[in-house]
Amino acid sequence: MKFLILTKEDLIRMLAALVLGVILGAAVTNLLLGYQLDQLVYENKKLAQQLNEEKQRLKQFEKDYYGTPVVQKVVLKLISNEDKYTEQELEKKIKDLLTGLVGLKINDLDPTILRDILHKRAIPLGKDTYLLESETIIIDDKLTFFIRVKKIHNNNLND
Protein backbone atom coordinates (compact mmCIF):
# COMPACT_ATOMS: atom_id res chain seq x y z
CA MET A 1 0.00 0.00 0.00
CA LYS A 2 1.35 3.39 -1.02
CA PHE A 3 0.60 6.61 0.80
CA LEU A 4 0.71 10.06 -0.62
CA ILE A 5 3.27 11.99 1.30
CA LEU A 6 3.29 15.74 0.83
CA THR A 7 5.89 18.08 2.12
CA LYS A 8 5.23 21.62 3.26
CA GLU A 9 6.57 22.94 -0.06
CA ASP A 10 4.21 20.66 -2.03
CA LEU A 11 1.22 21.91 -0.03
CA ILE A 12 2.25 25.54 -0.58
CA ARG A 13 2.62 24.91 -4.34
CA MET A 14 -0.82 23.28 -4.52
CA LEU A 15 -2.39 26.10 -2.53
CA ALA A 16 -0.66 28.69 -4.75
CA ALA A 17 -1.90 26.85 -7.87
CA LEU A 18 -5.43 26.80 -6.46
CA VAL A 19 -5.37 30.53 -5.64
CA LEU A 20 -3.89 31.33 -9.05
CA GLY A 21 -6.59 29.22 -10.73
CA VAL A 22 -9.34 31.02 -8.83
CA ILE A 23 -7.91 34.43 -9.76
CA LEU A 24 -7.49 33.50 -13.42
CA GLY A 25 -10.96 31.96 -13.52
CA ALA A 26 -12.50 35.11 -12.05
CA ALA A 27 -10.61 37.29 -14.54
CA VAL A 28 -11.71 35.20 -17.53
CA THR A 29 -15.31 35.14 -16.27
CA ASN A 30 -15.21 38.91 -15.84
CA LEU A 31 -13.91 39.36 -19.38
CA LEU A 32 -16.52 37.05 -20.86
CA LEU A 33 -19.54 38.29 -18.92
CA GLY A 34 -18.58 41.92 -18.16
CA TYR A 35 -19.89 43.36 -21.42
CA GLN A 36 -23.19 41.48 -21.13
CA LEU A 37 -23.64 42.66 -17.55
CA ASP A 38 -22.86 46.23 -18.62
CA GLN A 39 -25.49 46.03 -21.37
CA LEU A 40 -28.06 44.58 -18.96
CA VAL A 41 -27.49 47.37 -16.44
CA TYR A 42 -27.81 49.99 -19.20
CA GLU A 43 -30.99 48.41 -20.55
CA ASN A 44 -32.45 48.08 -17.05
CA LYS A 45 -31.93 51.80 -16.32
CA LYS A 46 -33.37 52.72 -19.70
CA LEU A 47 -36.48 50.59 -19.15
CA ALA A 48 -36.96 51.89 -15.60
CA GLN A 49 -36.86 55.45 -16.92
CA GLN A 50 -39.39 54.62 -19.65
CA LEU A 51 -41.66 52.97 -17.08
CA ASN A 52 -41.61 56.07 -14.86
CA GLU A 53 -42.38 58.31 -17.83
CA GLU A 54 -45.29 56.15 -18.90
CA LYS A 55 -46.69 56.08 -15.35
CA GLN A 56 -46.55 59.88 -15.20
CA ARG A 57 -48.15 60.14 -18.59
CA LEU A 58 -50.98 57.80 -17.58
CA LYS A 59 -51.67 59.73 -14.38
CA GLN A 60 -51.75 63.00 -16.28
CA PHE A 61 -54.16 61.63 -18.90
CA GLU A 62 -56.49 60.41 -16.19
CA LYS A 63 -56.63 63.96 -14.80
CA ASP A 64 -57.07 65.76 -18.11
CA TYR A 65 -60.42 66.33 -19.75
CA TYR A 66 -61.20 65.04 -23.20
CA GLY A 67 -61.12 67.00 -26.45
CA THR A 68 -58.43 69.48 -25.45
CA PRO A 69 -55.06 68.99 -27.18
CA VAL A 70 -52.47 68.37 -24.49
CA VAL A 71 -48.81 67.42 -24.38
CA GLN A 72 -48.79 63.63 -24.23
CA LYS A 73 -45.06 63.01 -24.21
CA VAL A 74 -41.75 64.87 -23.97
CA VAL A 75 -39.05 63.65 -26.36
CA LEU A 76 -35.39 64.63 -26.10
CA LYS A 77 -32.95 64.51 -28.98
CA LEU A 78 -29.45 65.14 -27.65
CA ILE A 79 -26.76 66.38 -30.02
CA SER A 80 -23.63 65.27 -28.23
CA ASN A 81 -20.25 63.61 -28.52
CA GLU A 82 -20.61 61.88 -25.14
CA ASP A 83 -20.95 58.13 -24.64
CA LYS A 84 -24.38 56.53 -24.34
CA TYR A 85 -24.14 56.15 -20.55
CA THR A 86 -23.44 59.86 -20.03
CA GLU A 87 -26.23 60.73 -22.46
CA GLN A 88 -28.58 58.45 -20.55
CA GLU A 89 -27.80 60.19 -17.25
CA LEU A 90 -28.10 63.63 -18.86
CA GLU A 91 -31.42 62.68 -20.41
CA LYS A 92 -32.70 61.56 -17.02
CA LYS A 93 -31.71 64.88 -15.39
CA ILE A 94 -33.19 66.90 -18.25
CA LYS A 95 -36.47 64.96 -18.17
CA ASP A 96 -36.67 65.67 -14.43
CA LEU A 97 -36.68 69.38 -15.35
CA LEU A 98 -39.48 68.83 -17.89
CA THR A 99 -41.81 66.54 -15.91
CA GLY A 100 -44.47 69.21 -15.43
CA LEU A 101 -45.01 69.69 -19.17
CA VAL A 102 -46.88 66.43 -19.79
CA GLY A 103 -50.61 67.09 -19.66
CA LEU A 104 -50.44 70.85 -20.27
CA LYS A 105 -52.68 72.32 -22.95
CA ILE A 106 -50.72 72.91 -26.14
CA ASN A 107 -52.35 76.32 -26.62
CA ASP A 108 -51.10 77.45 -23.19
CA LEU A 109 -47.43 76.71 -23.94
CA ASP A 110 -45.12 79.68 -24.47
CA PRO A 111 -42.24 78.76 -26.82
CA THR A 112 -39.93 81.35 -25.24
CA ILE A 113 -40.42 79.90 -21.78
CA LEU A 114 -39.95 76.37 -23.12
CA ARG A 115 -36.66 77.44 -24.68
CA ASP A 116 -35.49 79.18 -21.51
CA ILE A 117 -36.06 76.09 -19.38
CA LEU A 118 -33.02 74.38 -20.90
CA HIS A 119 -31.10 76.98 -22.93
CA LYS A 120 -27.69 77.85 -21.43
CA ARG A 121 -28.39 75.62 -18.43
CA ALA A 122 -25.43 73.93 -16.74
CA ILE A 123 -26.05 70.36 -15.62
CA PRO A 124 -23.54 68.85 -13.16
CA LEU A 125 -22.94 65.15 -13.66
CA GLY A 126 -20.26 63.52 -11.57
CA LYS A 127 -17.06 65.53 -11.81
CA ASP A 128 -18.09 67.17 -15.09
CA THR A 129 -20.52 69.94 -15.96
CA TYR A 130 -22.46 70.03 -19.22
CA LEU A 131 -23.93 73.10 -20.91
CA LEU A 132 -27.26 72.69 -22.70
CA GLU A 133 -28.26 74.77 -25.69
CA SER A 134 -31.78 74.54 -27.10
CA GLU A 135 -31.53 74.10 -30.86
CA THR A 136 -35.15 73.44 -31.85
CA ILE A 137 -38.45 72.80 -30.09
CA ILE A 138 -41.37 71.14 -31.87
CA ILE A 139 -44.66 71.81 -30.10
CA ASP A 140 -47.22 69.11 -30.75
CA ASP A 141 -48.84 66.37 -28.68
CA LYS A 142 -45.27 65.05 -28.58
CA LEU A 143 -43.15 67.97 -27.34
CA THR A 144 -39.72 67.45 -28.93
CA PHE A 145 -36.56 69.22 -27.78
CA PHE A 146 -33.37 69.17 -29.85
CA ILE A 147 -30.59 70.01 -27.41
CA ARG A 148 -26.87 70.48 -28.05
CA VAL A 149 -24.75 69.26 -25.13
CA LYS A 150 -21.24 70.60 -24.51
CA LYS A 151 -18.87 69.48 -21.79
CA ILE A 152 -17.53 72.48 -19.90
CA HIS A 153 -15.33 73.05 -16.89
CA ASN A 154 -16.64 74.75 -13.79
CA ASN A 155 -14.45 77.80 -14.37
CA ASN A 156 -15.73 78.26 -17.97
CA LEU A 157 -19.45 78.74 -17.19
CA ASN A 158 -19.42 82.33 -18.45
CA ASP A 159 -18.10 81.50 -21.95
Same domain, residue pair 81 and 121: yes
Is 1 within the bounds of a domain?
Answer: no
Q: So what's the pLDDT on residue 67?
A: 64
What is the total count of domains within the chain? 2
Dihedral of the alpha carbons of 131, 134, 139, 143, in degrees to the nearest 10: -20
* Whether residue 94 sits in one domain with residue 134: yes
Same domain assignment for residues 17 and 78 = no
Cβ atoms of 78 and 87 closer than 8 Å: yes
One domain for residues 56 and 71: no
98 domain residue, yes or no: yes
Can you tell me the distance from the alpha carbon of 83 to that of 138, in angstroms, rounded to the nearest whole number? 25
- Give the count of beta carbons closer than 10 Å to the beta carbon of residue 131: 17
**Euclidean distance between the first and the last CA atom of the chain, given in angstroms as a whole number:** 86
- The model's pLDDT over 4-43, given as tens digits with 9 standing for 90+, comes to 888 899 899 999 999 999 999 999 998 889 889 889 999 9
The pLDDT assigned to 64 comes to 64
Whether residue 44 sits in one domain with residue 26: yes
